[in-house]
Copies of this chain bind each other. A is one copy, B any other.
């Protein structure tokens, strides 16, 4: 029998933290005893509990301690430092390295709690003893000899306490289905966007090419012009079809202002790519007067940064596309600093890639007509996410009216 006493404090009853911890203990094969508990009598009060865990083996106890730590449960004796080990070679972590969550995390090192910056899931933690700093490091960036945290001792996670009455972004435990009213929700998203901008936070838009196909670009252009977009993440497709529309009036060969498919337009998107390649890039095409309307034209005019990440289904691609996926990831990592709200629309690949990089605390709105995409994103631990199952064109149209 292996034993440990952990403590929990905060709004652990009404934010469901205590039940979850008890659940994990039993699910992972151990028993618990609540040694003492003080329940906050009123909403504003905090609660605290000490729990004895009895596990059949030391190994299981370790697993449990590692797991309940994600909910803020710390062993009483957890005043020991993290264990670190040097990376054995470039791009390789030491065995048993600690894998991060997207929650705010602290590590205890030389009797001090260091905040791990920035929060990002599925990375390692690198400790710099000289500067007394701790940072998340993706595996491809680790250098031989870097000191990397091993195991979970000395790691503290600050769970997100969801309390009532909730903010709209915490409210959604499941995606907003197509069978629910959406008007007020869209209004609240608009309010959140305004608030982020008032506080000088950045708004990141992640968008797929059907934004252009459905005729929704004009609303994104309007949002950019009004200052509600600071960064745009997309792929070659969005840019190509936006530029195709700007140059030829079609999107994948479909005239956006006519009802009937232009059977002639097959080549348009390839010709658009060729023109931008000749110009040297999107910015250059704007400067040369070649490109004078659309999403990317407006981005260039308004100084909105964009990252176009490459994929194997790209035609061309445009010169602005970062074809190396690691390089693109790193660029996205860099740009999300300071982002206060993310609007993901009609894209699976780019939305999930962005979600992987975001701290859990960043507000995220994910809009797609396919409920599977929305669920997939919510499943990946993106906590402050609101999923809306709807058609992207009317969504953006209505959002613009509230901005």
* Complex CA distance for A175 and B87, rounded to whole angstroms: 41
CB-based nearest B residue for A208: B179
Asked if A27 and B99 make an inter-chain contact with CB atoms under 8 angstroms apart, the answer reads no
Cα(A278)–Cα(B41), bound, Å = 46
If A32-B42, A39-B34, A326-B310 touch, whether A139 touches B371 (CB-CB below 8 Å) is no
Binds B, one of A11-19, A78-86, A223-231, A294-302: A11-19
Q: Is the CB of A325 within 8 A of B314?
A: yes
Listed stretches A109-117, A195-203, A282-290, A350-358; interface member = A350-358
Q: A323-B325, A324-B325 are in contact. List 18 more A-B contacts (CB 8 A).
A: A16-B19, A32-B42, A33-B41, A34-B39, A63-B264, A66-B264, A95-B274, A180-B213, A181-B251, A310-B326, A324-B324, A369-B391, A370-B372, A371-B372, A390-B391, A390-B394, A393-B394, A394-B398
For the complex, what is the distance from the CA of A245 to the CA of B356, rounded to whole Å? 22
Provide the A239-265 mask, 1 if CB < 8 A to any CB of B, else 0: 000000000000100101111100110
The answer to whether A264 and B40 touch (CB under 8 A), given A18-B13, A311-B353, A325-B310, is: no
Which A-B residue pairs are the 6 nearest by beta carbons?
A394-B394, A181-B215, A310-B325, A312-B353, A313-B353, A99-B267
Q: A128 an interface residue at 8 Å Cβ cutoff? A: no
Identify which of B210, B270, B312, B352 contacts A328 (C-beta below 8 A): B312
CB-nearest residue of chain B to A397:
B394
User: Among A40, A181, A257, A389, which residue has the most Cβ atoms of chain B within 10 A?
Assistant: A181
- Which residues of B are found within 8 Å of A140, using beta-carbon distances? 316-317
Q: How many copies does the complex hold?
A: 4
Query: Please, how many angstroms separate the alpha-carbon atoms of A35 and B180 in the complex?
Result: 38
| Partner-contacting stretch, out of A129-137, A163-171, A336-344 | A163-171
Taking CB as reference atom, which chain B residue is nearest A123? B270
Scan A354-395; emit 1 where CB is below 8 A from any B CB, else 0. 001000000000000111100100000000000001110111
Contact for A99 among B33, B266, B352, B398, CB less than 8 A: B266
A34 & B41 in contact (Cβ 8 Å cutoff): yes
Chain B positions within 8 Å of A271 at CB level: 96-97, 99
A23 is an interface residue with CB less than 8 A from chain B: yes
Q: Give min CB distance, A398 to chain B, whole Å.
A: 7
Taking the nearest CB of chain B, how far is it from the CB of A126, in angstroms?
14
A27 touches B263 (CB 8 A): yes
- Pairwise interchain contact B349-A28, C-beta atoms closer than 8 A: no
- With A22-B14, A313-B349 already in contact, the answer to whether A39 and B37 are too (CB < 8 A) is yes
